[in-house]
Chain A
Amino acid sequence: MPPALELRGLRKSYYQKPVLFGLDLTVAPGQIVGYIGPNGAGKTTTLRILGGLDNRFDGEVRVLGIDVRKDPLSVKRRIGYLPESADLYDVLTPAEFYDLVGSLHGMEEPRIRDRAARLEEYLGLSYRRNQRMDSFSKGMRQKVLLTSILLHDPDLIFMDEPLNGLDANSVIRVKDLLRQLTERGKTIFYSSHIMDVVERISDRIILLNDGRIAANGTFAELNARAHSDNLEHLFTQLTGGRAGGEGPRFNLDSDE
């Protein structure tokens, strides 16, 4: 079985400004991989390339054994991609949105309806019949998005901040769902800023800093390397940040 992901010397620049500096990475199938890093580190850029949305890069990228630059369509058929803070055609009802996404994957309507209903039920998404999404909360929209990317039962799921806007109960549900998906052999590659969630649910953590992989391994491996007790400390150590209470004191009244 080919690796779920294989990156060799992945480089990317925006207007001459390098963003990714030669990433090398292999991810085996059936893992949950947490992709973390400070703002602007290049996480979303990596995810876009992996999802076949951007083919202007240097290096070699294979997703589920497919060269993503040569055949992005084949990649898109087998993956689910959840963008960060995605806009929706919010005059549609969720069912109409699922119809569109499902039909692009060649799914029949009854199957779309059936799978969507089961996913919505699991995620705890409820709304009035024929209710349009323009009145949905951020969390409800996120659940619609999650449902839509799982409809076609993808083998590999990319998610950019999947827990955005979700309440505590929903976060638990999503975490359970991700775990169950990996038990069925699916691979999940997601980015998040919520360190304790990443710490708890990821089989493997990849820390990106300034377009380079700063750490790559299980939480235990990373901990042992950096002598850190939690991911937050590890993150600050490796990205040059300051842990809570270590920085200088901030005083707004200092000009008085």
Chain B
Amino acid sequence: MNRLLLWSVARLAPVWQRLGADPRALRLILASKMKIGDRSLKMMGQTRGKSSDYTILIYCLLFIFGSILVFLYLAIDDKATAVGMIFTFISVYLGFMLVTEMTDTLFDTRDLTLLYSRPVTDATLSLSRGLYVYLFASKFVLPLTIPLGLALLYLAPLLVPVYALLCVLLTVIVVSMTLGLYLTLLRRMSPDRLRRVMGYLQVVLTTLFIVLYQLPNLINLTDSGDGVFDLRIVGTAWGFCWPGFWLGGVWDSVTYFGARPLSLVQGLLGIGAAAVGVRYYVSQGSNYGSQLMGVRIAGSEPADDSPEKNLTPVFFARYRNWWGRLTTRTGPERGSYRFNAALMTRDFNYKQQVYPGLLIPLLIAVGFAGQRLVAGGDPLGPGGVITSLYIFAILIVSPLVSARLSENFRAGWVWQTNPVERLNPILYGQLMAVVGLFFVPVGLVVYVCVGIVAGAGVFDDILLSLAAILLASILFQYTERSLPFSQEKNAGGFQAIGPMFLILFLGSLAGLAHYGLTFIPYGVALGTVVAWVVCLLALRGLRR
């Protein structure tokens, strides 16, 4: 596939030349980057040494997802809206991938000294990065879009070229918008601020994409089949809300010559967005090399718990220290707690993986509580309450699972050269960091909201679920054999995800047992006492 993509790039040499780049240098840089990328494939949060099997698996999964999208096309009567919906799903997924995986590529300064010390222009440099990201994105778009392409071959063969063109346009729009935004930040911000802002932006965008994916569920779009069949977005004012629908406008305009006027406008917007996006990206790329060099040599800001800074970090730092003193002993326990707490609040990759996931229970809980406070209504039934209580296990499991992985895993030598007498104190310190940093503050809000939604009668349910969730996380730590932030992202295959499956399985069983106890008089109260005793014993065992 690389050869095909590079061949396509070579065919467009005059275009690159007009944009101020050296086509030969561009092709050479791209070929090298793709070779390196394939040998250390980085996708879906995984960095793989041996890429071939894993690549095939990812493409197969995407192909299956693409096949599901065919049903969406068949289900929706208005085909322009169907195509718009499909492109919207793909664009959200692609945007998510670009934000999580390719930001580093755009701001990668490791090869900068190598390239920028050679006679390579800024345009060549920025275009090579942009094209690399585009080619990376294309590799994902292809398996996602091929199933519908094949279906169209059967259903409407004449529309296949239109569909193919729209797929290209979609990739161009999403890539140029995402990268254009980043390049704008690179130009407008001082390099030392950029690092911090980028970290937050990644978290915010990742959250946005996750929420967008959940949106159909949240607005009950998929509950009723009728709602889906009759859905009509392209050609209406809603069609302006996301670029995927603009491309639906192109589809509408091309396939039905008497298209709705708004479809025509949306179609023009789609084509214009792709052209403007590319032009904008190129214009923002001037002076790219020296800006990047600025990022490379920029100083770092002081740690966010500096006492000289504003009140929030001071409060947070005090709370962090207080929690550490309260729950850990001096020595490896406290050392591990402090180390984990610092990394968990500063490591961009960790924040990106964990923080958006924490916001979702928070948003759901606050949303439901707000709705009940404003609109009233009956409290949730026991089944609903218990399900939501156990979903909140994500507040502790997700931060723990990610706390052993690090982009900077090579710094884990520190665990090897120093005497780690026993693993348990280290893992206990890590658990306390997760509980103190995430579970307590976010959980407080979430459980208050649960109280509002379900009433004060669920207090014992909350206590029981808390014990069960803590017990699950202690079991996770028991099964854990790796030191904090010392594993490469791809470490271990099933070995890496096995303990998490175990915890999810046990969590589900605990939830089921909890539900069963609600049918027994005083069952939940007795269960709570037993669960807390077991939980405290397990915690004591971990500290030994």
Contacts and interface: CB of A to CB of B under 8 A. Distances in A.
Nearest to A95: B303
B416 A103 contact: no
B350 to A, nearest CB: 10
Interface residues of B, number: 34
A102 B410 CA distance: 20
Contacts of A194: none
A97 B346 CA distance: 14
B413 A86 contact: yes
A236 interface: no
B8 interface: no
B414 interface: yes
Interface in B318-337: 330-332, 334-336
B339 A96 contact: yes
Contacts of A77: 419
A104 B419 contact: yes
Interface stretch (A1-9, A105-113, A171-179): A105-113
A44 to B, nearest CB: 12
Contacts of B485: 89
B310 interface: no
A100 B406 CA distance: 17
A39 B338 CA distance: 39
Contacts of A51: 417
A131 B418 contact: no
Contacts of A149: 417
Contact of A132 (B302, B334, B418): B302
A100 B484 CA distance: 12
A105 B417 CA distance: 11
Given A81-B417, A108-B330, A109-B330, A100 B411 contact: no
A87 interface: yes
B278 to A, nearest CB: 34
B99 to A, nearest CB: 20
B331 A103 contact: yes
- The residue in A81, A104, A105, A129 that gathers the most chain B C-beta atoms within 10 A of its C-beta is A104
B413 A135 contact: no
Contacts of B190: none
A104 B418 contact: yes
A102 B335 contact: yes
B151 interface: no
B298 interface: yes
A106 B334 CA distance: 10
Interface string A125-152: 0001111101100000000000001000
Contact of A104 (B300, B301, B302, B332): B332
Contacts of A97: 414
Contacts of A96: 303, 338-339, 342
A92 B339 contact: yes
Given A128-B302, A130-B303, A83 B418 contact: no
B418 A105 contact: yes
Contact of B331 (A87, A91, A106): A106
Given A91-B347, A102-B335, A130 B419 contact: no
A101 interface: yes
A83 B342 contact: no
Given A76-B418, A103-B335, A129-B302, A87 B410 contact: yes
A93 interface: yes
B526 to A, nearest CB: 41
B287 interface: no
Nearest to B300: A135
- The residue in B414, B415, B485 that gathers the most chain A C-beta atoms within 10 A of its C-beta is B414
A73 B417 contact: no
A129 B485 CA distance: 25
Given A86-B413, A100-B338, A102-B335, A93 B330 contact: no
Contacts of B303: 93, 96, 130-132
Contacts of B301: 132
Interface string A58-92: 00000000000000010011000101001111111
A96 B304 CA distance: 13
B421 interface: yes
B420 interface: yes
Nearest to A151: B418
A19 interface: no
Contact of B335 (A53, A81, A99): A99
A149 B413 CA distance: 13
Given A53-B416, A90-B408, A109-B330, A130 B302 contact: yes
A91 B346 contact: yes
Contacts of A103: 330-332, 334-336, 338
A238 B339 CA distance: 47
B417 A76 contact: yes
Nearest to A88: B411
B220 interface: no
Given A91-B346, A106-B331, A132-B303, A73 B414 contact: no
Interface in B417-431: 417-421
Interface string B472-496: 0000000000000100000000000
Contacts of A91: 342-343, 346-347
B216 interface: no
B306 interface: yes
- The residue in B303, B306, B413, B417 that gathers the most chain A C-beta atoms within 10 A of its C-beta is B417
B299 interface: yes
B305 interface: yes
A198 to B, nearest CB: 23
Nearest to B422: A73
Contact of B300 (A105, A129, A134): A134
A86 to B, nearest CB: 6
Nearest to B330: A108
A89 B418 CA distance: 15
Contacts of B414: 89, 97, 100-101
Contacts of B299: 135
A92 B334 CA distance: 15
A130 B317 CA distance: 12
Contacts of B411: 86-90
Given A87-B410, A130-B306, A99 B418 contact: no
A106 B421 CA distance: 10
Nearest to A75: B419
B196 to A, nearest CB: 11
Contacts of B346: 91-92, 132
Interface string B387-429: 0000000000000000000101011011111111100000000
A146 to B, nearest CB: 13
11 contacts: A81-B417, A89-B414, A93-B303, A100-B336, A102-B335, A103-B330, A104-B332, A104-B418, A130-B303, A131-B303, A132-B346
Interface of A: 51, 53, 73, 76-77, 81, 83, 86-93, 96-97, 99-106, 108-109, 128-132, 134-135, 149
Given A86-B413, A103-B331, A108-B330, 18 more contacts: A73-B421, A76-B417, A76-B418, A83-B413, A89-B406, A89-B485, A91-B342, A91-B347, A99-B338, A103-B330, A103-B338, A104-B418, A106-B331, A106-B332, A129-B306, A130-B303, A132-B303, A135-B299
Q: Top 4 A-B pairs ranked by shortest CB distance? A: A103-B335, A135-B300, A91-B346, A76-B419
